[in-house]
Structure 1
Amino acid sequence: MNDMTDIAGPERYRLAEGLEISRVLTGLWQVADIEKDGRIIDPERGADALAAYANAGFSTFDMADHYGTSEIIAGRLLSRYAPGQDRPLAFTKWCPAPGPMTADVVRAGVRERLDRLGVARIDLLQFHWWAYEHPGWLDALHELAALRAEGLIGEIGVTNFDAAHLHLALADGVPVRTNQVSFSLVDRRAAGPLADLCDTSGPRLLAYGTLCGGFLSERWLGRPEPQDIADWSKMKYKRFIDAAGGWEPFQGILSAAAGIARKHGVSVSNVATRWVLEQRGVAGTIVGARLGESEHMADNLRPFAFTLDAEDHGQLEAAFARTRPIPGDCGDEYRKPPFLTASGDLSHHLDAMPLACETAPVPHRDGAMRVTSGSEWEDIAGYCRAQRIGDRIVVSGTTATAGTSRPVAPGDAAAQTTFVLDKILAALMALGAGAEDVIRTRIFITDEADALAVSRAHGRVFGSIRPANTLVVVAALIGDYRVEIEAEALVRP
């Protein structure tokens, strides 16, 4: 192995003014796995374990509201530092229950994080949302921005956002600093549109799953495919391996990484981490720690002792070519099949999301239903967002309007298209339909230069469905809008 004695600590990355992180963050998601049977980690002993990481230079910790007692453990560590003393960073996540995101709801969620951590300000608050069809996610981010201005939050991050919705948030003025997503030799989705967005708009990626729950290590090289998996992390990443083509192509990646590891005198895990660290837009990788059970601080330093050369990248690319891309964009595994999570099917979370539209019968038309979205123009002009008669659904021309009248992402046609399509899908869902039932869309834009961006946003939703479509350039739209879309659907038996 390479001599690590000359490495003072992990590389650092400046995310923002006064926010410099370790490029290998210590993830605390396994606290929930350790505690799942009711065995709660003693907070002081847990804080002792975190202190060892901080003393070795791994002073950035990532946790969440649902990672067992991770916030409490981190809070005990932070309490050991005097006010004004340079202390470790505690990044946490808020994954609220589905529903409207009012100012009071958001403040309560942030207050709970502050109380559990025992701090006056959260270094980085990362937000997760289940279904974009409910616009509460954008409301929540704007409320978080208000709390940031108030001083309760240092920076805002999101978790498992695809490129389209991260772009929408940025275009609507939310100062999102980071997006935490799966990124590994097996799951390379973040190297696509998200990396492009990082290049143009500035948010940074925090990569998790870099070691695929431990599968990206010598331990699994040449080993038979596991049949019984006990811990949550490995259950999750075995699904990713299966989605990428299965055990045999995965062994090809492991073999290539093992050859590179031997060349540089490091471990397979080091190669896996180094590859992600060298990708566009990546600020850091998150490596999990099983507090009191398994610590790999010395090994976690080795990715900073070497770089991958052209030959190394060529060998990995050859191995990648024998795998299948993970379907969809980042975060899709939480929102649509195939659900690549530890528990598998997450439709119960999606089913719990309240409808964004109100549904009511259509008077004088037996069995017909209509939905309203709250736009003030629906009352003024006397129309509904959508109406279902039998198996046919028609959706009115829809613009990127939040609440009753606020234009979303003014001046950005691509972001507006993303919001409009979410709004259309919400109306369809309220009437028992989905994107797969759409048979026609009509798009109106005000600038021919927006045609490609709008079409790509449309293709993200309908690329495999391919409804009939018309796109026309019009002289103007009422209000600060660059795009308006209407749709028709035919519900299948």
Structure 2
Amino acid sequence: MSISLNFISLPQHEHFRLGPFTVPRLWVGLWQLSSNAWGSAPMSKIREAMVRHVEEGYTAFADHYGSAELVFGHFRRNMAPEHDIVGATKWCVFKDVVPTRPVVEAAVRERIERMQADRVDILQFHWQDYSNKGYLSALEILQELRTEGLITSIGLCNFDAIRTDEICTQLGPNAIVSNQVQFSLIDTRPLHGMADVCERHGLKLLTYGTLCGGFLADKWVEKPVPDLYSGNLTPSQRKYLDMILKAWGSWELFQSLLHVLRVIGDRHGGLSIANIATRWVLDHQFVGAVIVGTRLGISEHLQDNCKVYGFNLTAEDNADIEAVLNRSNGRRIITTVGDCGAEYR
């Protein structure tokens, strides 16, 4: 049975072109479905939450790890056909793989089967070992599969600026539509090289970690630093807290940033800290969309997230933010951690 949706009060979303798709600038990230460490909800509640997201205009879903492909596939298959829902899934190569045609095609067909689709909308490709140039061969075969109709668009995931430029140069114009990387007020690495690559080749970034696992939010204003090893933190929060404390600066400086974001939110009519932090990322022209990690059926911020649309930060806002960022080590993270995706290699 198809699911029909009620679009009574659909917010005016911002959209952009990604390959042949017109998609919103906020996407639903499904990485939490890969583990109970983020909390768990009954499948019925997860599907209800996915319906609510589509009702509010969140029609693009990404990061289909593990069972998320199966959940998304079942969900979209049961949606009414008039709803244009886009799914971006991944093929991540973490070990020595010889990317022959049968190997690459088998990986793509597995995703098609799991997502109950005729083709993959956006296949995001990740390759761990840069010393093995097999990623170029794999992408050339993915291009063939796109031509044959098994893939609509090809994106990258956690590739750095040097390899992204190399790939786009070798594969030619419009071969790659996106690169999914971490980008936030805390992690500004895409500003150093990746932005130029995007402009040169017409790529858009799909960003994650934009709210640092939920730390860039009003709930953390004037709160003490949490225990990094507390069982109350999600895997994402442990990751980003470690970055805030060790690579970016200190909890005291982070509190200063939260206070500035709170003031800016008040200037714009009482918007949340999360709205301002998200808007800061979206205001960069090389960013296509922010992927918002959503604990479906557990914790959702549908209405608040939509408030990022319809405004832009002012020169005063940006100057106030930069005054805090200039006191941090943020601009040096690219030298201490490495370029985009280096933490996964």
Mapping of residues 107-146 of structure 1, within 5 Å = 107-146=105-144
2:253 is aligned with what amino acid?
Answer: P
2:83 corresponds to 1:86: yes
Q: How many residues align?
A: 325
Q: d(CA) in 2 for partners of 1:261 and 1:169?
A: 40
Show the counterpart of 1:320: 325
Whole-angstrom CA distance in 2 between matches of 1:82 and 1:302: 27
User: Contact 1:78 / 1:87 at 8 angstroms: preserved in 2?
Assistant: no
Alignment of 1:194-273 (within 5 A): 194-227=194-227, 228-229=229-230, 230-242=233-245, 243-264=247-268, 265-273=270-278
8 Å contact 2:41–2:296 — kept in the other structure? no
Q: Please tell me whether residue 334 in structure 1 is matched to residue 337 in structure 2.
A: no
Whole-angstrom CA distance in 2 between matches of 1:250 and 1:160 = 25
* 1:265-313 CA-partner distances (Å, limit 9, x unpaired): 1000000000000013000101111111111110011011321000000
CA distance in structure 2 between the partners assigned to 1:40 and 1:302 by the alignment: 26
Query: Alpha-carbon deviation of 1:46?
Result: 2.6
1:302-333 CA-partner distances (Å, limit 9, x unpaired)? 01132100000000000100110323211111
What is the one-letter code of the residue matched to 1:13?
F
Letter in 2 for 1:90: G
Structure 2 residue identity aligned to 1:57: G
Q: Which amino acid aligns with 2:241?
A: K
Assess, with a 3 A threshold, how the Cα gap between structure 1 residues 55 and 6 changes in structure 2: closer, same or farther. Answer: closer
Question: What is the distance in 2 between the residues matched to 1:79 and 1:263?
Answer: 43
Please give the TM-score of this superposition, normalised by the length of structure 1.
0.63
For 2:301, the equivalent position in structure 1 comes to: 296
Give RMSD over aligned pairs: 1.9
Please list the CA deviations of residues 211-238 of structure 1 after superposition, one character each: whole Å capped at 9, or x if unmatched.
Answer: 0000001111121111134311101111
Tell me if the contact between 2:41 and 2:298 (Cα under 8 Å) persists in the aligned partners.
no
- The question of whether the paired residues in 2 share the 8 Å contact of 1:9 and 1:58 is answered with no
* In structure 2, C-alpha distance between the alignment counterparts of 1:54 and 1:6, rounded to whole Å: 12
Q: Greater relative contact order (Cα 8 A, min sep 6): structure 1 or 2? A: 2
Flag the structure with higher helix content.
2
Structure 2, unaligned stretches of length 5 or more? 1-7
SS at structure 2 position matched to 1:238 = helix
Q: Deviations over 1:102-130 (max 9, x none)?
A: 11111111111111100011110101111
1:26 to 24, 28, 31: 28
Given that 1:40 and 1:69 are in contact with CA atoms closer than 8 Å, whether structure 2 keeps it comes out as no
The answer to whether the 8 A contact 2:37-2:234 is kept is: no
Identity of aligned residues (%): 40
Mapping 1:431-470, distance limit 5 Å: none
Tell me by how many angstroms 1:51 deviates.
Answer: 1.4
- AA aligned opposite 1:12: H
Identify the match of residue 77 of structure 1 among 75, 78, 81: 75
Q: Normalized against structure 2, the TM-score is what? A: 0.89
Cα distance in 1 for partners of 2:37, 2:144 equals: 34
Unaligned runs of 5+ in 1: 336-493
1:311 aligns with 2:313: no
Native 8 Å contact 2:38 2:235 kept in 1: no
Gap change, CA 1:93 and 1:40, over 3 Å in 2? farther
User: Larger deviation: 162-171 or 44-53?
Assistant: 44-53
Q: Report the Cα offset of residue 86 of structure 1.
A: 3.5
Shift of 1:151: 0.5
Q: Distance in 2 between matches of 1:101 and 1:156?
A: 16
Distance (whole Å) between structure 1 residues aligned to residue 180 and residue 30 of structure 2: 14
The residue type paired with residue 125 of structure 1 is L
Larger Rg: 1
Higher strand proportion: 1
Give, as a single letter, the amino acid of the residue that structure 1 aligns with 2:257. I
In the alignment, the residues of structure 1 paired with residue 117 and residue 47 of structure 2 have an alpha-carbon distance, to the nearest angstrom, of 15
